[in-house]
Chains A and B, each alone.
Chain A
Amino acid sequence: MSTGNNNRQKKSYSLHQFTILIAEDFPFMADLLSSMLREFGVGRIIVAENGRDAISRLRSSNGDSGSREPIDLALIDWLMPKQNGMEVISWIRSHKRDSLRFLPTILISAYTSEAVVEAGRDNGFNEVLVKPVSAEKLAQRILYVIDNPRPFVKAPNFFGPDRRRKDLDYSGEERRVTQSEHIKVNHER
């Protein structure tokens, strides 16, 4: 089964401690995603019916007056009324609270073009899940985010997960600051 680490196939995740936000305006899709996540064993699922609702729920769970069970991962549809997925991710990545700006996010999109995947990446999403969604693809994306946390990059025009998936040789000037005084361990919780 490709939905987990092959070396540890026998062991299952304890997803009952996990809280996932689904921001999806299409009720059928929101129900379907919820149902699958429940089957995977996710303990708490919060559904937001549009972008504004998603922001409100993120603010109340992970914001200044955050709950004791903050949202661990957000699945965000691109096309939503009252603030779309790109506006939601912009709000998340520009928030002052670490529990929000470093929040792992997966963009859900009906668009399959390269431009959409690039837009998702450049706006700070961790992963992209293209509709139609299959159970295996959903599990893979979630497990990938859990097993492969990416460093975050703060550049003049970007803040989000490192967009480089692999290290390539680079002979130019090193402009990335990685000294210990500049490394901040994220997630205050």
Chain B
Amino acid sequence: MQGETRVNIYKATKILQAKVGSGAVEKEKVEVCQKQIDENQTDFGPMAKEFLDELTRAVTFARAGKEDLQSLRQHVTQPVMQLKANGAMFGYTLIGDLANIMLNFLETVSRIDDDIIAIVEAHQKTLAAIVNNQMKGDGGATGKMMKDELVGACKRYMEKRHAKGNS
């Protein structure tokens, strides 16, 4: 049926350009805006709490057997991504680094078990500690230690799983 596969193209219009003209946004304006972001004094703590609470709920539900792997992924991913994205606006880059480790780990696991839940819980507590202690930037030596701990926990889990699979 040719009619079902037909594709119609609607020409692009320059309607927005006709309305606002062309050119650039002045560099100075962009710099002023970026300064607003970089120097904002808003307290990230209360905002982060909402997302940390979501993570806590996900862990509690998982422990109670109310989460399968897919829903755990979803309920962990959402607050972690929000913490990562919004944390970066407040200079909490360490949160982003830890979030990437956590999200990569959750992508690689194929079923939910107590060890996975324990790793997610450890991650939640680490994030809470970062926010509560206002540990901005990469967190220095402590930040590195936190990252190494989380990577180590994920690695140990994968090794244990492979050992079980091979036995």
Interface of B is mostly: helix
| Interface assignment of A28: CB less than 8 Å from any CB of chain B | yes
Size of A's binding interface in residues, CB under 8 A? 62
Interface residues of A in 149-179 (CB under 8 A from B): 149-156, 162, 175-178
- A187 / chain B contacts, CB cutoff of 8 Å: 13, 15
**CB within 8 Å for A12 and B26 given contacts A110-B86, A149-B14:** yes
Which A residues touch B16, using CB under 8 A? 18, 72-73, 104, 145-146, 149
User: When the two chains form their complex, are residues B19 and A149 in contact, meaning their CB atoms are under 8 A apart?
Assistant: no
Task: List residues of chain A with CB under 8 Å of any chain B CB.
Answer: 1, 3-5, 8-15, 17-18, 26, 28-29, 32, 35-36, 39-41, 72-73, 79, 102, 104, 110-111, 130-136, 138-139, 143, 145-147, 149-156, 162, 175-178, 182-187
Is B69 interfacial (CB-CB < 8 Å)? Answer: no
Would A39 and B24 be within 8 Å (CB), given that A147-B17, A186-B10 are in contact?
A: no
Q: How many residues of B contact A (CB 8 A)?
A: 43
How far is it, in angstroms, between the C-alpha of A137 and the C-alpha of B154 when the chains are bound? 34
Contacts A155-B7, A182-B8, A185-B11: A36 and B36 contacting too (C-beta < 8 A)? yes
